[in-house]
Amino acid sequence: MSIERGSALPSSADVVVVGGGVVGAAIAFQLARLGVTDVVLLDKGEIGGRASGRSGALVRTHYPNMDEARVALAALPWFEEWPDRVGGDCGFTATGFLQMVAEPDRPTLRSNVALLQKIGVDTRLVGADQINELQPQLRLADGELAAYEPRSGYADPLATTRGFASAARRLGATVLEGVEVSEIMTAGGRVRGVRTAAGDVDSPVVLLANGSWSASLLSPLGIQLDLTPIWAQVAFFARPPSLPAGRAGQLTIIDRAHGCYLRADGEDRTLVGLSGSRRPLEDLDADHPADPKFAELARRQAALRIPALADAPSLGGRGGPLDVTPDRRMVLGPAPDVPGLYLAVGMSGGGFKKAPAIGACMAELIVDGKASTAPIEPFRPTRFAEGEPLSGAEYTLPSDGVYPEAFDELSAQGLIH
């Protein structure tokens, strides 16, 4: 996709979307789909250049909180029907997904699966025999129990993000890279546009989809958003020969018993992440190089589930910034007290899979005054001040799958789950 850098900035728009990650790109696309084609999507770097392009990009609907599960469920058909709905290829591969848990969490898994089935998620409990049929290379505990989703898998994070931006552009949106919004302009208490070094864009509607960076644009307006920036990473390994090759050669797995998640990556690699291994991030724009210590830990934890990974050659990794809210759930809705300003931030490490539906919900909110794709009221920015943070029946995380120093600090702040 060719995107103009810093040039051709319009002086006005119906809607300005700040941040060209998967969330902002999906919103611009969904707005244009609803007929709001005078949309300007601005990114200070490159489309998909931060968290979105570096995501693990697991696509699943298993959540211990049903509000989140509803959004993830509404997003899934967008991945499944991407060529017809968006155009091109987002690399979605329906490998099937297993949510695995430690023995003490089995009752919670059972009750979460029952709740998920009630809201229409295609999931079921599977025991050792069925898991063995799905993927014989897994090491299983006595009485192993997992939740299986046949429709889930993973996508290509950069292709998805840039695919949304390209589709938005085809529908008439303006997509610009290298344009940083330095200020949200207001008049008479409501939004009137954005300021950039390349000029102002007048607009009655501004939507922030720029992760942790949003906090510094909001504070001059008197809005304090509690977002903690955290660095998350994934490691790649040569797929062991005992696992099938191919994009769907292995199940996509979140393994809470060992604190890791795994999926196929391309034809012959395996991607591994660690749910608890996150590091505080002081400089939002800093890039941390792939960390060999992380790769070692990831290999060790993943090999507890797939023993063949113990000797798999390391093929590097990548990382990106997460924007974590106090209840580790996203913030969606109108900003308090500033008409015309909307927020879609605080994805807390799970924004990729939900982005297509977040885009639809935010577009509906702006156009119709109400989201119809999924209920987003629970994610309203004011919930913290109202004393109504979100919760769910979470699974425990083992302490051996994390950097001990970061784990203690971040879990004490409630930032890991």
Ligand X SMILES: Cc1cc2nc3c(=O)[nH]c(=O)nc-3n(C[C@H](O)[C@H](O)[C@H](O)COP(=O)(O)OP(=O)(O)OC[C@H]3O[C@@H](n4cnc5c(N)ncnc54)[C@H](O)[C@@H]3O)c2cc1C
Interacting residues with ligand X (CB under 6 A): 18-24, 42-45, 49-52, 54-58, 180-181, 209-211, 213, 232-234, 273, 319-320, 322, 347, 349-353
243 to 37, 96, 109, 316: CA distances (angstroms):
46, 15, 27, 20
Q: Shortest approach of ligand X to residue 51 CB, angstroms?
A: 4
Closest CB 412 distance from ligand X, rounded Å: 22
β-bridge pairing 97-100 and 260-265:
unpaired
353: Cα separation from own chain's centroid: 5
> In whole angstroms, how close is the CB of 347 to ligand X at the nearest point?
3
- Beta-bridged to residue 254, according to DSSP, are 99, 261
d(CA 123, CA 117) in angstroms, rounded, equals 6
- Alpha-carbon distance of 402 to 385, in angstroms, equals 32
Q: Nearer to ligand X by C-beta: 47 or 113?
A: 47
The letter for the amino acid at 169 is: R
Please, which residue, 110 or 330, has the CB nearer to ligand X?
330
Task: State in angstroms the smallest separation of the CB of 407 from ligand X.
Answer: 17
Looking at the Cβ atoms of 135 and 277, the one nearer to ligand X is 277
Q: Which is nearer to ligand X, 56 or 193 (CB)?
A: 56
Report helix, strand or coil for 143: coil
d(CA 144, CA 236): 27
Residue with CB nearest ligand X?
21
* Residue 241 C-beta: closest distance to ligand X, Å: 26
Least Å distance between CB 409 and ligand X? 19
Q: Which is nearer to ligand X, 35 or 280 (CB)?
A: 280
Q: How far is the CB of 279 from ligand X (least distance, A)?
A: 11
Q: Which residues lie below 8 Å from residue 161, measured CB to CB, with a gap of 6+?
A: 20, 21, 22, 25, 47, 48, 52, 53
Identity of the residue, 163 or 273, whose beta carbon is nearer to ligand X in the bound complex = 273
Range 37-70 burial, b when 16+ CB lie within 10 A, else e: bbbbbbbbbbbbbbbbbbbbbbbbbbbbbbbbbb
Contact 313, 295 (CB under 8 A): no
User: Locate tokens 């599977």: which residue?
Assistant: 126
DSSP state of 376: -
43 or 144: CB nearest ligand X: 43
Residue 25 CB neighbour total at 10 angstroms: 32
Least distance (Å) from ligand X to the CB of residue 133? 25
Nearer to ligand X, 167 or 347 (CB): 347
CB contact at 8 A, 120 and 73 = yes
